[in-house]
Structure 1
Protein backbone atom coordinates (compact mmCIF):
# COMPACT_ATOMS: atom_id res chain seq x y z
CA UNK A 1 0.00 0.00 0.00
CA UNK A 2 1.27 3.47 -0.86
CA UNK A 3 1.41 6.34 1.59
CA UNK A 4 0.95 10.05 0.93
CA UNK A 5 2.26 12.75 3.24
CA UNK A 6 0.91 16.17 2.28
CA UNK A 7 2.53 19.30 3.65
CA UNK A 8 0.51 22.46 3.13
CA UNK A 9 0.45 26.03 4.30
CA UNK A 10 0.38 29.63 3.21
CA UNK A 11 3.13 31.26 1.15
CA UNK A 12 6.17 31.98 3.30
CA UNK A 13 5.39 29.33 5.91
CA UNK A 14 8.35 27.15 4.88
CA UNK A 15 6.80 24.29 2.89
CA UNK A 16 9.66 23.93 0.41
CA UNK A 17 12.37 24.17 3.07
CA UNK A 18 10.58 21.76 5.39
CA UNK A 19 9.87 19.35 2.51
CA UNK A 20 13.56 19.36 1.62
CA UNK A 21 14.44 18.72 5.27
CA UNK A 22 11.94 15.83 5.46
CA UNK A 23 13.55 14.41 2.31
CA UNK A 24 17.04 14.68 3.82
CA UNK A 25 15.99 13.02 7.08
CA UNK A 26 14.26 10.18 5.23
CA UNK A 27 17.27 9.78 2.93
CA UNK A 28 19.65 9.68 5.89
CA UNK A 29 17.45 7.00 7.53
CA UNK A 30 17.44 5.06 4.23
CA UNK A 31 13.64 5.33 3.91
CA UNK A 32 12.62 4.98 0.27
CA UNK A 33 10.38 7.86 -0.79
CA UNK A 34 9.79 10.51 -3.44
CA UNK A 35 9.40 14.24 -2.88
CA UNK A 36 7.25 16.30 -5.24
CA UNK A 37 6.93 20.08 -4.98
CA UNK A 38 3.38 20.57 -6.21
CA UNK A 39 3.96 24.11 -7.46
CA UNK A 40 6.17 22.75 -10.25
CA UNK A 41 3.42 20.56 -11.67
CA UNK A 42 1.38 23.38 -13.19
CA UNK A 43 3.68 26.39 -13.20
CA UNK A 44 2.78 27.89 -16.56
CA UNK A 45 1.21 30.99 -18.08
CA UNK A 46 -1.65 31.26 -18.50
CA UNK A 47 -2.36 29.09 -15.47
CA UNK A 48 -3.72 25.68 -16.55
CA UNK A 49 -5.65 25.13 -13.30
CA UNK A 50 -9.00 24.55 -14.99
CA UNK A 51 -7.43 21.54 -16.76
CA UNK A 52 -6.26 20.02 -13.43
CA UNK A 53 -2.81 19.72 -14.99
CA UNK A 54 -1.15 19.33 -11.59
CA UNK A 55 -3.20 16.18 -10.90
CA UNK A 56 -2.55 14.80 -14.38
CA UNK A 57 1.17 15.44 -14.01
CA UNK A 58 1.23 13.88 -10.54
CA UNK A 59 -0.49 10.78 -11.93
CA UNK A 60 2.19 10.46 -14.61
CA UNK A 61 5.09 11.08 -12.24
CA UNK A 62 3.76 8.74 -9.54
CA UNK A 63 3.21 5.97 -12.11
CA UNK A 64 6.92 6.16 -12.90
CA UNK A 65 7.93 6.12 -9.23
CA UNK A 66 5.50 3.27 -8.46
CA UNK A 67 6.91 1.24 -11.35
CA UNK A 68 10.32 1.53 -9.70
CA UNK A 69 8.95 0.31 -6.36
CA UNK A 70 8.34 3.58 -4.51
CA UNK A 71 5.44 3.52 -2.05
CA UNK A 72 5.89 6.76 -0.10
CA UNK A 73 5.25 10.23 -1.49
CA UNK A 74 5.92 13.54 0.27
CA UNK A 75 3.94 16.26 -1.53
CA UNK A 76 4.21 19.97 -0.72
CA UNK A 77 1.83 22.63 -1.95
CA UNK A 78 -0.15 25.49 -0.44
CA UNK A 79 -3.52 23.73 -0.69
CA UNK A 80 -2.27 20.13 -0.53
CA UNK A 81 -4.06 19.67 2.80
CA UNK A 82 -7.35 20.60 1.13
CA UNK A 83 -6.73 18.39 -1.92
CA UNK A 84 -5.40 15.29 -0.16
CA UNK A 85 -8.20 13.04 -1.43
CA UNK A 86 -7.78 14.29 -4.99
CA UNK A 87 -3.99 13.87 -4.77
CA UNK A 88 -4.49 10.31 -3.51
CA UNK A 89 -6.84 9.61 -6.42
CA UNK A 90 -4.25 10.96 -8.86
CA UNK A 91 -1.73 8.49 -7.43
CA UNK A 92 -4.10 5.74 -8.56
CA UNK A 93 -3.23 3.20 -5.89
CA UNK A 94 -5.39 4.20 -2.90
CA UNK A 95 -2.60 5.45 -0.62
CA UNK A 96 -2.97 5.98 3.10
CA UNK A 97 -3.17 9.77 3.57
CA UNK A 98 -1.30 11.68 6.25
CA UNK A 99 -0.80 15.41 6.36
CA UNK A 100 0.25 18.48 8.22
CA UNK A 101 -0.67 22.15 7.93
CA UNK A 102 2.31 24.42 8.54
CA UNK A 103 1.47 27.71 10.23
CA UNK A 104 3.34 30.93 10.90
CA UNK A 105 2.54 34.41 12.12
CA UNK A 106 1.95 37.29 9.73
CA UNK A 107 5.19 38.96 10.88
CA UNK A 108 7.31 35.86 10.24
CA UNK A 109 5.68 35.22 6.86
CA UNK A 110 6.14 38.88 5.93
CA UNK A 111 9.85 38.74 6.72
CA UNK A 112 10.33 35.50 4.81
CA UNK A 113 8.48 36.75 1.74
CA UNK A 114 10.39 40.05 1.86
CA UNK A 115 13.56 38.00 1.52
CA UNK A 116 12.49 36.68 -1.87
CA UNK A 117 10.01 39.24 -3.29
CA UNK A 118 9.91 43.01 -3.61
CA UNK A 119 7.66 45.86 -4.66
CA UNK A 120 4.31 44.95 -6.18
CA UNK A 121 5.18 41.24 -6.16
CA UNK A 122 5.76 41.34 -2.40
CA UNK A 123 2.45 43.11 -1.83
CA UNK A 124 0.60 40.59 -4.00
CA UNK A 125 2.27 37.63 -2.25
CA UNK A 126 1.44 39.02 1.19
CA UNK A 127 -2.22 39.46 0.23
CA UNK A 128 -2.48 35.97 -1.29
CA UNK A 129 -0.72 34.46 1.70
CA UNK A 130 -3.11 36.13 4.16
CA UNK A 131 -6.14 34.91 2.16
CA UNK A 132 -4.69 31.41 1.98
CA UNK A 133 -4.02 31.39 5.74
CA UNK A 134 -7.66 32.21 6.48
CA UNK A 135 -8.93 29.57 4.06
CA UNK A 136 -6.53 26.89 5.27
CA UNK A 137 -7.30 27.60 8.90
CA UNK A 138 -11.02 27.26 8.26
CA UNK A 139 -11.06 24.37 5.79
CA UNK A 140 -8.20 22.02 6.71
CA UNK A 141 -9.63 18.79 8.14
CA UNK A 142 -9.63 18.69 11.95
CA UNK A 143 -7.69 15.40 11.98
CA UNK A 144 -4.71 17.04 10.28
CA UNK A 145 -2.09 18.35 12.74
CA UNK A 146 -0.97 21.97 12.68
CA UNK A 147 2.75 22.63 13.09
CA UNK A 148 4.01 26.14 13.83
CA UNK A 149 7.19 27.19 12.01
CA UNK A 150 7.77 30.52 13.80
CA UNK A 151 11.35 30.78 15.02
CA UNK A 152 12.10 27.18 14.07
CA UNK A 153 14.69 25.65 11.78
CA UNK A 154 13.23 23.57 8.90
CA UNK A 155 15.03 20.46 10.18
CA UNK A 156 13.39 20.87 13.60
CA UNK A 157 9.96 21.17 11.94
CA UNK A 158 10.72 18.17 9.71
CA UNK A 159 11.67 16.08 12.74
CA UNK A 160 8.35 16.95 14.38
CA UNK A 161 6.45 15.96 11.22
CA UNK A 162 8.27 12.65 11.06
CA UNK A 163 7.15 11.85 14.61
CA UNK A 164 3.61 11.94 13.21
CA UNK A 165 4.14 9.42 10.39
CA UNK A 166 4.99 5.72 10.82
CA UNK A 167 7.98 5.61 8.48
CA UNK A 168 10.61 4.51 11.00
CA UNK A 169 11.97 8.01 11.59
CA UNK A 170 11.31 10.39 14.47
CA UNK A 171 10.44 7.80 17.05
CA UNK A 172 7.63 5.97 15.20
CA UNK A 173 8.04 2.39 13.87
Structure 2
Protein backbone atom coordinates (compact mmCIF):
# COMPACT_ATOMS: atom_id res chain seq x y z
CA UNK A 1 0.00 0.00 0.00
CA UNK A 2 1.34 3.42 -0.99
CA UNK A 3 0.80 5.57 2.08
CA UNK A 4 1.99 8.94 0.77
CA UNK A 5 0.51 10.96 -2.08
CA UNK A 6 2.26 14.13 -3.24
CA UNK A 7 0.28 16.64 -5.26
CA UNK A 8 2.84 18.55 -7.30
CA UNK A 9 2.55 21.24 -9.93
CA UNK A 10 3.15 24.92 -10.58
CA UNK A 11 1.74 27.78 -8.49
CA UNK A 12 -1.98 28.27 -9.08
CA UNK A 13 -2.70 24.73 -10.23
CA UNK A 14 -4.66 23.83 -7.08
CA UNK A 15 -2.32 21.60 -5.07
CA UNK A 16 -3.54 22.69 -1.65
CA UNK A 17 -7.21 22.96 -2.60
CA UNK A 18 -7.21 19.52 -4.23
CA UNK A 19 -5.19 18.15 -1.31
CA UNK A 20 -7.84 19.22 1.19
CA UNK A 21 -10.59 17.66 -0.95
CA UNK A 22 -8.64 14.38 -1.24
CA UNK A 23 -8.18 14.53 2.55
CA UNK A 24 -11.96 14.92 2.99
CA UNK A 25 -12.59 11.96 0.67
CA UNK A 26 -10.12 9.83 2.63
CA UNK A 27 -11.98 10.70 5.85
CA UNK A 28 -15.20 9.51 4.21
CA UNK A 29 -13.43 6.26 3.24
CA UNK A 30 -12.10 5.85 6.81
CA UNK A 31 -8.48 5.80 5.61
CA UNK A 32 -7.10 7.75 8.62
CA UNK A 33 -5.55 10.55 6.53
CA UNK A 34 -3.19 13.37 7.44
CA UNK A 35 -2.30 16.45 5.40
CA UNK A 36 0.90 18.50 5.04
CA UNK A 37 1.76 21.51 2.88
CA UNK A 38 5.44 21.68 1.89
CA UNK A 39 5.32 25.45 1.41
CA UNK A 40 4.46 25.85 5.07
CA UNK A 41 7.05 23.30 6.17
CA UNK A 42 9.76 25.33 4.42
CA UNK A 43 8.52 28.81 5.34
CA UNK A 44 11.80 30.20 6.65
CA UNK A 45 14.03 32.98 5.36
CA UNK A 46 16.66 33.20 4.07
CA UNK A 47 17.15 29.84 2.40
CA UNK A 48 20.65 28.38 2.24
CA UNK A 49 22.52 29.12 -0.98
CA UNK A 50 22.79 25.41 -1.83
CA UNK A 51 19.05 24.75 -1.24
CA UNK A 52 17.11 27.75 -2.56
CA UNK A 53 13.73 25.97 -2.46
CA UNK A 54 14.28 24.65 1.09
CA UNK A 55 13.87 21.02 -0.07
CA UNK A 56 15.99 19.65 2.79
CA UNK A 57 14.16 21.68 5.45
CA UNK A 58 10.78 20.66 4.05
CA UNK A 59 11.79 16.98 4.02
CA UNK A 60 13.19 17.13 7.56
CA UNK A 61 10.03 18.78 8.87
CA UNK A 62 7.85 16.33 6.94
CA UNK A 63 9.67 13.38 8.56
CA UNK A 64 8.92 14.74 12.03
CA UNK A 65 5.31 15.54 11.26
CA UNK A 66 4.67 12.18 9.59
CA UNK A 67 6.20 10.41 12.59
CA UNK A 68 3.79 12.26 14.88
CA UNK A 69 0.83 11.56 12.60
CA UNK A 70 1.69 7.85 12.48
CA UNK A 71 2.04 7.72 16.27
CA UNK A 72 -1.46 9.20 16.48
CA UNK A 73 -2.83 6.42 14.24
CA UNK A 74 -2.88 8.05 10.81
CA UNK A 75 -2.09 5.77 7.88
CA UNK A 76 -2.34 7.90 4.72
CA UNK A 77 -0.41 11.10 4.07
CA UNK A 78 -1.46 13.71 1.54
CA UNK A 79 1.24 16.26 0.72
CA UNK A 80 0.85 19.44 -1.34
CA UNK A 81 4.08 20.83 -2.78
CA UNK A 82 6.28 21.19 -5.81
CA UNK A 83 8.64 18.28 -6.50
CA UNK A 84 11.02 19.28 -9.29
CA UNK A 85 13.80 16.68 -9.31
CA UNK A 86 14.48 13.00 -8.60
CA UNK A 87 16.66 14.16 -5.67
CA UNK A 88 13.69 16.00 -4.13
CA UNK A 89 11.57 12.89 -4.60
CA UNK A 90 14.22 10.84 -2.80
CA UNK A 91 14.24 13.32 0.09
CA UNK A 92 10.47 12.91 0.46
CA UNK A 93 10.67 9.12 0.24
CA UNK A 94 13.29 9.11 2.98
CA UNK A 95 11.05 11.40 5.04
CA UNK A 96 8.03 9.13 4.87
CA UNK A 97 10.00 5.88 5.05
CA UNK A 98 9.03 4.50 1.65
CA UNK A 99 7.86 5.25 -1.86
CA UNK A 100 5.64 8.22 -2.57
CA UNK A 101 3.10 8.51 -5.36
CA UNK A 102 3.43 11.82 -7.18
CA UNK A 103 0.42 13.21 -8.99
CA UNK A 104 1.29 16.24 -11.09
CA UNK A 105 -1.61 18.62 -11.43
CA UNK A 106 -1.71 20.53 -14.69
CA UNK A 107 -3.44 23.57 -16.20
CA UNK A 108 -2.72 26.01 -19.03
CA UNK A 109 -0.48 29.02 -18.46
CA UNK A 110 -3.48 31.31 -19.00
CA UNK A 111 -5.50 29.51 -16.35
CA UNK A 112 -2.58 29.53 -13.89
CA UNK A 113 -2.13 33.28 -14.41
CA UNK A 114 -5.83 33.93 -13.89
CA UNK A 115 -5.92 31.89 -10.68
CA UNK A 116 -2.80 33.58 -9.29
CA UNK A 117 -4.13 37.05 -10.07
CA UNK A 118 -7.50 36.34 -8.44
CA UNK A 119 -6.46 34.53 -5.29
CA UNK A 120 -5.23 37.74 -3.68
CA UNK A 121 -2.19 36.39 -1.81
CA UNK A 122 0.48 38.16 -3.80
CA UNK A 123 0.62 41.88 -4.52
CA UNK A 124 2.49 44.27 -6.81
CA UNK A 125 5.49 42.90 -8.67
CA UNK A 126 5.10 39.63 -6.76
CA UNK A 127 2.07 38.72 -8.85
CA UNK A 128 3.86 39.14 -12.17
CA UNK A 129 6.91 37.27 -10.86
CA UNK A 130 4.75 34.36 -9.69
CA UNK A 131 2.86 34.22 -13.00
CA UNK A 132 6.20 33.95 -14.84
CA UNK A 133 7.45 31.35 -12.35
CA UNK A 134 4.25 29.30 -12.78
CA UNK A 135 4.67 29.22 -16.55
CA UNK A 136 8.37 28.31 -16.35
CA UNK A 137 7.78 25.65 -13.71
CA UNK A 138 4.87 24.15 -15.62
CA UNK A 139 7.10 23.72 -18.69
CA UNK A 140 9.92 22.29 -16.57
CA UNK A 141 7.69 19.81 -14.74
CA UNK A 142 6.27 18.63 -18.06
CA UNK A 143 9.68 18.28 -19.72
CA UNK A 144 11.37 16.60 -16.74
CA UNK A 145 8.32 14.67 -15.56
CA UNK A 146 8.99 12.61 -12.43
CA UNK A 147 5.33 12.12 -11.58
CA UNK A 148 3.53 8.80 -11.51
CA UNK A 149 0.47 10.30 -13.18
CA UNK A 150 -0.97 13.63 -14.31
CA UNK A 151 -4.42 15.09 -13.68
CA UNK A 152 -5.65 18.24 -15.37
CA UNK A 153 -7.38 20.82 -13.19
CA UNK A 154 -8.43 22.97 -16.15
CA UNK A 155 -12.16 23.68 -16.43
CA UNK A 156 -13.00 20.99 -13.86
CA UNK A 157 -14.52 21.10 -10.42
CA UNK A 158 -12.40 20.41 -7.38
CA UNK A 159 -14.57 17.37 -6.69
CA UNK A 160 -13.93 15.93 -10.17
CA UNK A 161 -10.18 16.47 -9.85
CA UNK A 162 -10.04 15.00 -6.34
CA UNK A 163 -12.02 11.96 -7.43
CA UNK A 164 -9.64 11.29 -10.32
CA UNK A 165 -6.57 11.78 -8.11
CA UNK A 166 -7.97 9.46 -5.47
CA UNK A 167 -9.02 6.77 -7.96
CA UNK A 168 -5.42 6.41 -9.10
CA UNK A 169 -3.98 6.48 -5.56
CA UNK A 170 -6.52 4.33 -3.71
CA UNK A 171 -7.88 1.78 -6.18
TM bin, normalised by shorter chain, reads 0.7 to 0.9
Alpha-carbon separation, structure 1, partners of 2:152 and 2:18: 12
Among 128, 132, 143, the alignment partner of 1:127 is: 132
Query: How much does 1:13 deviate?
Result: 0.5
Structure 2-normalised TM-score?
Answer: 0.87
- Conserved 8 A contact 2:116-2:127: yes
Query: How much does 1:2 deviate?
Result: 6.0
Alpha-carbon separation, structure 2, partners of 1:118 and 1:59: 33
| Structure-to-structure mapping, 1:21-170, within 5 angstroms | 21-48=21-48, 50=51, 52-79=56-83, 82=86, 83-91=88-96, 93-94=97-98, 96-115=99-118, 116=120, 117-141=122-146, 144-166=148-170
Alpha-carbon separation, structure 1, partners of 2:44 and 2:100: 28
Runs of 4+ deviating beyond 4 Å: none
**Which 10-residue stretch deviates more, 51-60 or 154-163?**
51-60
Equivalent residues, number: 164
- Conserved 8 A contact 2:18-2:158: yes
- Identify the residue that residue 18 of structure 2 maps to in structure 1: 18
Alpha-carbon separation, structure 1, partners of 2:22 and 2:2: 18
- Conserved 8 A contact 1:102-1:146: yes
Three-state SS of the structure 2 residue aligned to 1:111 is: helix
Alpha-carbon separation, structure 2, partners of 1:20 and 1:123: 27
Q: Which runs of 5+ in 1 are unaligned?
A: 167-171
Alpha-carbon separation, structure 2, partners of 1:56 and 1:122: 29
**Which 10-residue stretch deviates more, 5-14 or 71-80?**
71-80
* CA deviation vs aligned residue, 1:7-56 (integer Å, no higher than 9, x gap): 10000111111001101111122221111011100112213573721111
CA RMSD of aligned residues (A): 2.0
- Conserved 8 A contact 2:84-2:141: no
Query: How much does 1:109 deviate?
Result: 0.7
